[in-house]
Amino acid sequence: MNATIIGLVYVTAGSLMSCGQATPPSAAGISDKIDPKAEGQNTCLLAHAEKYSELLTKEMAAEAMNMPADQAIMGISKLGLASNEYDYVQYEWENGREKLVKQINRKVKAKDYVKLTGIAATSLDNFKMTYRAVSDEDIGMLDEKIERSVRAEAPTAVSKNAQKKLDDLGISREQQEQMMKDFSGMAKKVTHAYVTVENIGDAAVWNGIENTFYVFTNGAKFQVVVEVGEDPDQNKAIALALARTILARCK
């Protein structure tokens, strides 16, 4: 399955998971001095949704990764959806590293990389609801939404757009449904790894399984993904440093 198909399936399932949620839970480390329903105030951050590489430059990434900038391999993804949330810029380095792939119990060659993605307007309430551990009830509701969306009974605008692109790639609706349900099954395990991080932005969460740092600030969010090895603390430290640099540019 190529990266475009994976991205579109993720977008479709993610859009269904985030819509129609219940009242968000309270969370430690999140500011209580802002309007929890306000979104879109950080115009600087949102303006970079169409130019991720200007917010995270090769030089910034190289400095954080302690790698030579002239050896970075830059990649930019634009899915062409209505939202730029799932686009990204990524910088990779060949470092002779291997990682264990548990599914096949083998080590494979892996590049060190950093990625900026996920820029979008959102509210504090939505952020808290999205980046939290999901329950069996949540998964059941998501599976129902997936079935209804694939049958075109209740698609979201984003999922409809992504499904159309999957249709164009020759992916049947039955295949789409199964792939999205596979993603929802993974969600429970992944989301239990969310850990609140204090004193950065208005709210922040680290996920050590995804090696992803999620940051909310002034009505907008972004994500920094880092992988330099198997040590989640090292990945987290680099992601945190990059997030602080990005926040210094777009508070």
Domain locations in the chain?
1-28+134-191, 31-133+193-251
Q: What is the DSSP string of 224-242?
A: EEEESSS-HHHHHHHHHHH
Which residues of the chain register pLDDT less than 50?
Answer: 1-11, 13, 15-17, 19-30, 154
DSSP 3-state assignment of 91? strand
CA 239 to chain centre: 13
Query: What is the structure's pLDDT at 34?
Result: 82
Cα→Cα distances 14→6, 9, 123, 143, 167, Å: 12, 8, 17, 12, 18
Query: What is the structure's pLDDT at 159?
Result: 58
Measured at the CA of 188, the angle between CA 187 and CA 189, to 5 degrees, comes to 95
The pTM (predicted TM-score) of the whole model is 0.71
Query: What is the structure's pLDDT at 20?
Result: 45
Counting every residue written for the chain, the total comes to 251
Query: What is the structure's pLDDT at 22?
Result: 46
